Amino acid sequence: MAQARYDEHVLIVGGGGTGGALAHDLALRGLRVTLVERGELTSGTTGRHHGLLHSGGRYAVSDRESATECIEENRILRRICPGTLETNDGLFVAVEEEDLAYLEPFVEGCAACGIPTQRLTGAEALRLEPNLNPAVLAAVRVPDATMDGWRMPLRFFATARHNGAEIRTYTAVEGLLVHDHHVSGAALRDHVTGRCGEVRADVVVNATGPWSERVAAMAGVEVPIRPSPGVLVAVRGRLCNMVLNRLHKSGDGDIIVPQRALSVVGTSSWVVDDPDELGVPEDHVERMYAEGAKLVPAVRDTPMRAAWSAARPLIGARSAGDSGRELSRTFKTFDHRETDGVEGFVTITGGKGTTLRAMAEVCADVVCRKLGIDEPCRTRETVLLPHEAYYRAAA
């Protein structure tokens, strides 16, 4: 296991994809890193997402900032995560006449964001995906892919661990150590032993996604986060090999992501106050079936394996609309010295699974600048260890 080259110590709160990618980035730059997670890794939002490695197509018309981030990261993850992605591309499919009106803006939006596209006739789309709605009028191929919401992020944790980062799961933050507007660590409870303790650090990073408002409050600062859940339904059977999206403005139930021997239909979108209490509204499950069947009619008669909810950490004030769809999918780093006059505390939030590495890079730049450390990001080129190396590191 590698040794840190610097004495500076960063404590990351949150073991989702963002925290894992940040631990990896900072460990590569030679810092001492400790990451704490109250449960298992990726047990919050990351593990529960539909598994779509975005090409950016979904945002190409309405949110070009997110779309551009997605295609750049899509290319990087294909390079650094070989063997963990189902790289079968995706289709945006027009199944009703009115979908066709979206085709030109979609192709133009993709071109403007650097997302390669290939136009297909309905017949050509059916040759690729015979289970598609036979009424398909046209389709556009994009470089979507399927990731594994557990194994892909686990490769970041595995590599971070091999580079010296300490990853402590089942360790809850009970409070932050705050004196004179300065955060210097956290009070922890270790659920493996039941014991309490403290960890001190030069910078504490809040990487808790939809929980980031709660953790920020421990330092007396606010971050404008709206936990926005969506319902997903996994049906038994692999109904397609490519990611299938409806060619229209993002809506409910308009994506089918094949994953192993399952097909995941998603999502819906609403907003909640408490990211721990999401529920799975029955009418949302029915909508996933109804909308999913418009893309692939066989969805209607395919038995359900599971229905669940995941909370997106969207950036926006509480006064924003209440569906969550109007909020950008981009991410933001808050250096709380600049926003609130609190030193030693940074929040990274927003974003999505596809952009985890980019979020980490931006946040690690902020952390290093605060610490006066001049080290470049190396995560674009560093191929990650296989996921099971996480466990071999522990041995």
> Phi and psi of 392, rounded to 5°?
-70, -30
Can you state the angle between helices 17-28 and 356-371, rounded to 10 degrees?
50
Residue 107 in the binding site for other proteins (CB under 8 A): no
d(CA 26, CA 342): 22
Per-residue binder mask for other proteins (CB under 8 A), 215-234, x = binder? -----------------x-x
Residue 63 in the binding site for other proteins (CB under 8 A): no
Residue 166 in the binding site for other proteins (CB under 8 A): no
Min separation Cβ 288 and other proteins, Å: 12
Beta strands per DSSP E along the chain: 9-13, 32-36, 52-53, 85-86, 90-94, 118-121, 138-142, 145-147, 166-168, 171-179, 182-190, 196-200, 203-206, 225-236, 243-246, 255-259, 262-266, 304-315, 331-335, 345-350
Residue 87 in the binding site for other proteins (CB under 8 A): yes
Residue 242 in the binding site for other proteins (CB under 8 A): yes
Per-residue binder mask for other proteins (CB under 8 A), 115-154, x = binder? ---x--------xxxxx---------x----x-xxxx---
User: Can you name the residues that pair with 188 across neighbouring β-strands?
Assistant: 173, 197
Place of tokens 């229209």: 248
Question: Looking at 75, 119, 260, 378, which residue binds other proteins (CB under 8 A)?
Answer: 260
Q: If DSSP codes are grouped into helix, strand and coil, which group holds residue 167?
A: strand
Whether the CB-CB separation of 86 and 78 falls below 8 Å is answered with no
Amino acid at 269: S
Residue 369 in the binding site for other proteins (CB under 8 A): no
Question: Looking at 1, 123, 192, 317, which residue binds other proteins (CB under 8 A)?
Answer: 192
Residue 354 in the binding site for other proteins (CB under 8 A): no
Question: Looking at 32, 48, 284, 329, which residue binds other proteins (CB under 8 A)?
Answer: 48
Q: Both tokens of residue 377?
A: 């990001």
Question: Looking at 249, 305, 332, 380, which residue binds other proteins (CB under 8 A)?
Answer: 305
The residue among 2, 52, 50 whose CA lies nearest residue 23 is 2
Min separation Cβ 130 and other proteins, Å: 4
Binding residues for other proteins, total number by CB under 8 A: 66
Question: Looking at 98, 123, 179, 195, which residue binds other proteins (CB under 8 A)?
Answer: 195
CA-to-CA dists, residue 340 to 203, 317, 318, angstroms: 15, 16, 19
Q: Both tokens of residue 94?
A: 């027009």
Question: Looking at 1, 123, 317, 395, which residue binds other proteins (CB under 8 A)?
Answer: 395
Q: How far is CA 273 from the centre of its chain?
A: 20
Residue 85 in the binding site for other proteins (CB under 8 A): yes
Min separation Cβ 48 and other proteins, Å: 5
d(CA 244, CA 259): 12
Taking the least distance from each CB to other proteins, the nearer of 126 and 320 is 126
Residue 259 in the binding site for other proteins (CB under 8 A): yes
Residues within the interface to other proteins (CB under 8 A): 39-43, 46-48, 51, 83-89, 118, 127-131, 141, 146, 148-151, 170, 172, 189, 191-195, 232, 234, 238-242, 258-262, 264, 276-277, 279-280, 282, 305-308, 310, 386-388, 391-392, 394-395
